[in-house]
Amino acid sequence: MTATVSAPGPLVLVVEDEPQMRRFLRASLASHGYALCEASSAAEAVALATSRGPEMVLLDLGLPDEDGVDLTRRLREWSRVPIIVISARGHEADKVAVLDAGADDYLTKPFGVGELLARMRVALRHVQQAAGTPTPIIEIGPLRIDLGRREVKLDGAEVHLTPIEYRLLALLAQNAGRVLTHTQILKEVWGPGHAGETHYLRVYMAQLRRKIEVEPARPRLLQTEPGVGYRMREATT
């Protein structure tokens, strides 16, 4: 177990058993102002998570002593720290499992540093928003959502949504830049009893895209993560 503080920025716990990948992440993140502590096993990760209080966790699923999905569940029992999974497992089932277990995002190896940094910024921004007053107005490209008034406008023109369409859009917008699984969306919008009824979601997503996308067949705002869920394009800042 190492605890290498390399910069004064947010502290990131890297949980990765491959030394080469740890070296790559250490160099990439330190050069962008992040501080790091590193673990090569789930046991070390839990020890560092409790003792160091990191502001983010980058987690590989293939750990020697415990599967990363199970570790994610353990961390979620007591912590809301953002967890971004970095794994060679690219199957949809793996992504869904760890996102449903409580991870905030998922990157498949190999990946670009730019994309990783962007996902990290999104996750940290969500934490900051949750700690403060919720943003009453969200603007994403031509879309403007006033959460206080429950009002949606596209290029300045009001968009009329049904209550379910509005809840679906608001949920995705409040998590802009973050992938939400089918199960997560169904639980939030329809309730826990509808977690398996993905046909509801497909129908309402199609309706919503017809109302807010310039080209519903080629959506730019509401992006599909095949087999996993949906992601709203990241909000403007």
Q: Compute the mean pLDDT over every residue in the chain, rounded to the nearest whole number.
A: 88
Half-sphere exposure of 189 (CA within 13 A, CB side): 25
Mark residue 102 as left, alpha or beta (left: phi above 0; alpha: psi -120 to 50; beta: remaining).
left
* Distant-in-sequence, close-in-space partners of 145: CB < 8 Å, separation ≥ 6: 137, 138, 139, 151, 152, 169, 170, 173
**Whether residue 6 has pLDDT greater than 60:** no
Q: Which domains does the chain have, with CATH numbers?
A: 11-131 (3.40.50.2300), 137-232 (1.10.10.10)
pLDDT at site 166: 93
pLDDT at site 211: 95
Mean pLDDT is lowest, of 122-136, 160-174, 176-190, 200-214, for 122-136
Number of Cβ atoms within 10 Å of the Cβ of 48: 22
**Whether residue 3 has pLDDT greater than 50:** no
What does the pLDDT average to over 30-44? 94
pLDDT at site 28: 94
Mean pLDDT is lowest, of 89-103, 183-197, 199-213, for 183-197
**Whether residue 80 has pLDDT greater than 90:** no
Tokens representing 210? 């017809």
CA geometry: angle 22, 45, 21, nearest 5 deg: 10
What does the pLDDT average to over 182-192? 87
pTM: 0.75
Q: Of all residues in the chain, what percent are helix, strand and coil, respectively (each to 5)?
A: 40, 20, 35
Mean pLDDT is lowest, of 122-126, 133-137, 141-145, 214-218, for 133-137
Question: Using CA atoms, how far apart are residues 151 and 160, in angstroms rounded to an integer?
Answer: 8
> What's the pLDDT band for 133 if we cut at 50, 70, 90?
low
Tell me the C-alpha to C-alpha distance, in Å, between residue 200 and each of 148, 170, 179, 183.
26, 17, 18, 11
> What's the pLDDT band for 131 if we cut at 50, 70, 90?
low
**Whether residue 10 has pLDDT greater than 80:** yes
Question: Using CA atoms, how far apart are residues 197 and 21, in angstroms rounded to an integer?
Answer: 39
Burial call 160-188: b when 16+ CB within 10 Å, e when fewer: ebeeebbbbbbbbbbbbbbbbbbbbbbeb
What does the pLDDT average to over 113-130? 86
* Distant-in-sequence, close-in-space partners of 147: CB < 8 Å, separation ≥ 6: 134, 135, 136, 137, 138, 170, 174
Backbone angles phi, psi at 69, to 5 degrees: -65, -45
